[in-house]
């Protein structure tokens, strides 16, 4: 892929509105642009990383036997009235009357819609379990949209829902999803701490949030250095019955606990029968008795993953993408190649890498060497391949891994092999 054939509007200046590193870097590296408060466009580089993240999520959901669906964002208010959340959701839920005067909702979440989908079709214990997920835009009129796509009013979520016959089956499913979440976040290069969490407006009995420790995080978690117990601050406050400060006693081992700022990237809940009972999603058990289906729900803030990755992977010069989610693992930077015999070499390298399955971007812009190098660091391609008169005199390319201080001269004959090892 050629730089000139895509759209990467990088910025030299730091946008005034951006308060935290990931927001600044996503704007400066040309990943996103703001349309209005809480709404963002994803540009080609942002889309590529988003596609990497969603591919990882889809692979792990499929591996956990969860199947993909796509549910409507436009939802009739009637469903929300039946679950009781028409009242409890508050002004965060975007509501309007359609042209026929019917109250309508732009889905902030999908428990109601997915539960209704099973009513009358899943009838017997033989039809269970069912595990479904979608990756879809959610709408929430957030009181304070901020930090770019960390808290926006329109964002991509992966939401999965499980339907089981009893608490034991739900427990097994919950554990399986917990494991899938740990794998997903690890593959995205994120270190997460799973914490006990409050169930809030979702309802249900048990819940965990997956938190990425980061100085800019809006949430606070408490973690025990002794036994590893971790909880969200709200949950810990409820459990300890005190207000929570640094050094407060761990409810399990009584050692002092630490307070850490963190970004919530995922949230899983054992919902129980709250939605199935309200919406009539029932099944006949082996004794022929009608019972409400036992549910769980499992969310990941897909678009929030990008800033969470960047918050924990950057330096003063720009982003340091993990290879697994980089928009392109490699960038080819040709600098002043005066020998006409070498003129087509950058294109040839691009072709060979692409054919070998290494996604790369060829910086074919007519701009200074300084601009090309700065943009490569800013965007944070994991591998930079530099071709210049100097390197070509030695039949070599200069290869530098982002985040490592030293560059190495690699003979052109070994370039593909060396790059493939790290891409
Ligand atoms: P928060 O406490 O951050 O508002 P939440 O508890 O409302 O999150 P859930 O309803 O559990 O979030 O949504 C699942 C995931 O969606 C969250 O873990 C988070 O990563 C992401 N998410 C929630 N709200 C937003 C938002 N406004 N913008 C971007 N991502 C969001
Ligand atoms: Mg919220």
Q: Which atom of ligand 1 is nearest to the CA of 108?
A: 10
Percent of the chain predicted with pLDDT > 90:
91
Looking at per-residue pLDDT, the higher value among 207 and 244 belongs to 207
77 and 138: one domain?
Answer: yes
At residue 303, does pLDDT exceed 70?
yes
Indicate if 163 and 273 belong to the same structural domain: yes
Phi-psi region of 101 (alpha: psi -120 to 50; beta: other; left: phi over 0): left
For residue range 25-76, what is the model confidence (pLDDT) as tens digits?
Answer: 999 999 999 999 999 999 999 999 999 999 999 999 999 999 999 999 999 9
Gap between the Cα atoms of 163 and 115, Å rounded: 9
Quote the domain boundaries for residue 334. 328-422
Distance 25 CA to ligand 2 centre (A): 24
Residue 226 maps to a domain: no
Is beta strand 257-272 parallel, antiparallel or unpaired with respect to 294-301?
antiparallel
CA of 224 to the centre of ligand 1 (A): 25
Tell me if 171 CB under 6 Å of ligand 1: no
Residues 288 and 402 reside in one and the same domain: no
CA distance 356 to 347: 14
Q: Can you give the CATH number for the domain in which 391 is found? A: 3.40.50.800
Does residue 190 share a domain with residue 104? yes
383 and 409 both lie in a single domain: yes
| Mean pLDDT of the region 309-322 | 98
Q: Specify the residue with its C-alpha closest to ligand 1, atom 23.
A: 301
Ligand 1 atom with least separation from CA of 210: 18
For the stretch 246-258, pLDDT in tens is 999 998 899 999 9
With respect to residue 96, please indicate whether it lies within any of the assigned structural domains. yes
**Ligand 1 centre distance from Cα of residue 9 (Å):** 29
As a whole number of angstroms, the distance between CA 230 and CA 222 comes to 6
Q: What pLDDT shows up at residue 356?
A: 97
> Residues 293-322: what's their mean pLDDT?
98
Tell whether 300 and 371 lie within a shared domain.
no
pLDDT at 200 over 80: no
- The answer to whether 54 and 91 have CB atoms below 8 angstroms apart is no
For the residues 361-379, what does the mean pLDDT come to? 97
Residue 178 lies in a domain: yes
How is residue 57 written in tokens?
């999520």
Residue 280 pLDDT exceeds 90:
yes
pLDDT, position 203: 66
Residue 201 has pLDDT above 80, yes or no: no
Angle of CA points 143, 149, 155, to nearest 5°? 80
Regarding whether 391 and 294 lie in a shared domain, the answer is no
Is residue 250 in some structural domain?
A: no
Could you tell me the pLDDT band of residue 238, with boundaries at 50, 70 and 90? confident
Mean pLDDT of 379-400: 97
Task: Report the percent of the chain where pLDDT is more than 70.
Answer: 99
79/183 same-domain check: yes
**Calpha distance 293→275 (Å, rounded):** 9
| Mean pLDDT across the chain | 96
How many domains are there within the chain?
2
Residue 225 within any structural domain of the chain? no
Are both 302 and 376 inside the same structural domain? no
**Nearest alpha carbon, ligand 1 atom 3:** 264
Burial class (CB in 10 A: 0-12, 13-18, 19+), 13: exposed
Q: Does the structure show a pLDDT above 70 at 202?
A: no
Instruction: Kindly report whether the global pTM for this prediction surpasses the value 0.85.
Output: yes
Distance CA 380, CA 378 (A): 5
In a domain, 231, yes or no: no
Q: Which residues contact 404 (CB under 8 A, 6 or more apart)?
A: none
* pLDDT tens per residue, range 79-113: 999 999 999 999 999 999 999 999 999 999 999 99
Are residues 271 and 336 located together in one domain of the fold? no
The enclosing domain of 298 has a CATH number of: 3.30.930.10
- Residues belonging to the chain: 423
Beta strands in 82-205 (DSSP E): 94-97, 103-106, 130-139, 154-164, 193-196
Under 8 Å between Cβ of 116 and 276: no
- For 206-234, what is each residue's pLDDT tens digit? 899 999 999 999 999 999 989 999 999 98
> Is residue 304 lining ligand 1, measured as CB closer than 6 Å?
yes
In testing the pocket of ligand 1, which one of 50, 157, 184, 203 has its CB within 8 Å of the most ligand atoms?
A: 157
Claim to verify: residue 35 and residue 183 sit in the same structural domain: yes
Same domain for 371 and 402, yes or no, is yes
Average of per-residue pLDDT across 159-174: 97
Q: Is 253 helix (H, G, I), strand (E, B) or coil?
A: coil
Q: Report if residue 292 sits inside a domain.
A: yes
pLDDT confidence bin for 198, thresholds 50/70/90: confident
- 23 within a domain of the structure (yes/no): yes
């Amino acid at each position: 892929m050629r730089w000139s054939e895509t759209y990467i509007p990088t910025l030299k200046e730091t946008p005034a509105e951006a308060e935290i590193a990931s927001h600044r870097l996503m704007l400066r590296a040309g990943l996103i642009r703001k349309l209005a408060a809480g709404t963002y466009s994803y540009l080609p580089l942002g889309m590529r990383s988003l596609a990497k993240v969603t591919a990882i999520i889809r692979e792990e959901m499929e591996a956990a036997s969860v199947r993909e669906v796509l549910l409507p964002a436009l939802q009739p208010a009637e469903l929300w009235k039946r679950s009781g959340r028409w009242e409890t959701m508050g002004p965060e839920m975007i509501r309007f009357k359609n042209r026929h005067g019917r109250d309508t909702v732009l889905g902030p979440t999908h428990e109601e819609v997915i539960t209704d989908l099973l009513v009358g079709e899943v009838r017997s214990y033989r039809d269970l379990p069912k595990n479904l997920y979608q990756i879809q835009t959610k709408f929430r009129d957030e009181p304070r949209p901020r930090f770019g796509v960390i808290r926006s009013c329109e964002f991509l979520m992966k939401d999965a829902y499980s339907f089981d016959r009893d608490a034991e089956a739900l427990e097994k499913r919950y554990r399986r999803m917990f494991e899938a979440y740990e794998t997903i976040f690890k593959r995205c290069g994120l270190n997460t701490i799973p914490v006990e969490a409050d169930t809030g407006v979702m309802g249900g009995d048990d819940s965990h949030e997956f938190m990425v420790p980061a100085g800019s995080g809006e949430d606070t978690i408490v973690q025990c250095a002794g036994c590893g117990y971790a909880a969200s601050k709200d949950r810990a406050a409820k459990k300890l019955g005190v207000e929570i400060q640094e050094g407060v006693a761990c409810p399990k081992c009584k050692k002092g606990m630490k307070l850490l700022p963190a970004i919530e990237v995922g949230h899983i809940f054992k919902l129980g029968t709250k939605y199935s009972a309200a919406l009539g999603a029932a099944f006949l058990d082996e004794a022929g008795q009608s019972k409400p289906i036992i549910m769980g729900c499992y969310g990941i803030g897909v678009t929030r993953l990008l800033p969470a990755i960047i918050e924990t992977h950057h330096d003063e010069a720009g982003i340091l993408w993990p290879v697994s989610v980089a928009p392109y693992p490699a960038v080819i930077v040709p600098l002043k190649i005066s020998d006409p015999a070498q003129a087509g070499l950058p294109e040839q390298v691009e072709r060979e890498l692409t054919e070998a399955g290494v996604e790369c971007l060829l910086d074919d812009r007519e701009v200074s060497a300084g601009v090309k190098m700065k943009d490569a660091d800013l965007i944070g391609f994991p591998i930079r391949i530099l071709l210049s008169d100097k390197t070509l005199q030695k039949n070599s390319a200069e290869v530098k891994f982002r985040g490592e201080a030293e560059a190495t001269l690699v003979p052109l004959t070994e370039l593909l092999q060396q790059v493939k090892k790290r891409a």
